Amino acid sequence: MILKDIKDYDIVNYKKPSLFIAFPYCTFKCDKENGNQYCHNWLLTQQSDIDIDTTDLIDKYYNPTTVNSIVCGGLEPFDSWSDLYELIYTFRIQYGYDDDIVIYTGYEEDEIYNQINCLRAFKNIIIKFGRYRPNQSPHKDELLGVNLANKEQYAVKIS
């Protein structure tokens, strides 16, 4: 799988300590709609790709065991759908782990309806939906336990 970044210990994007995985692709739908380059993840496009086997990534998760969730973000995880699905499938089915998996997406629920339905088969999947909108007040999302950039963004536990 191709990624842009892996943070072994992250407490910024979720209320539980997490392995943060930055996915490499995005259509920059938010910037297109906002009419300007506001994406705070834009610099990830300049980083070198990380090519890592899914099982090696999951082994990294449990060595050491200082985290108890995975956060998928970066650019846009759903623009790497096959890799995202493979990661979740391997983590849940092959390894049997039930820890929370959080997916940060700029898509709206109706835009990725089919993918959401596929992910409902797995336990403890949380998705943060919504585009970034500049110059708006942040709000605390109780499910994630962190502030989100604007009221259009919200998290849902889908399974």
Q: What mean pLDDT, rounded, does the chain reach?
A: 93
Position 60 confidence tier, pLDDT thresholds 50, 70, 90: confident
pLDDT of residue 135: 87
How many CA within 13 A on the CB side of residue 96? 0
Position 107 confidence tier, pLDDT thresholds 50, 70, 90: very high
Region 46-57 average pLDDT = 95
CB atoms within 10 A of CB 133: 15
Q: Cα-flanking dihedrals φ and ψ of residue 104, to 5°?
A: -90, 120
pTM value? 0.95
In 3-state terms, the chain is what percent helix, strand and coil (to 5)? 30, 25, 45
| Domains of the chain by residue range | 2-157
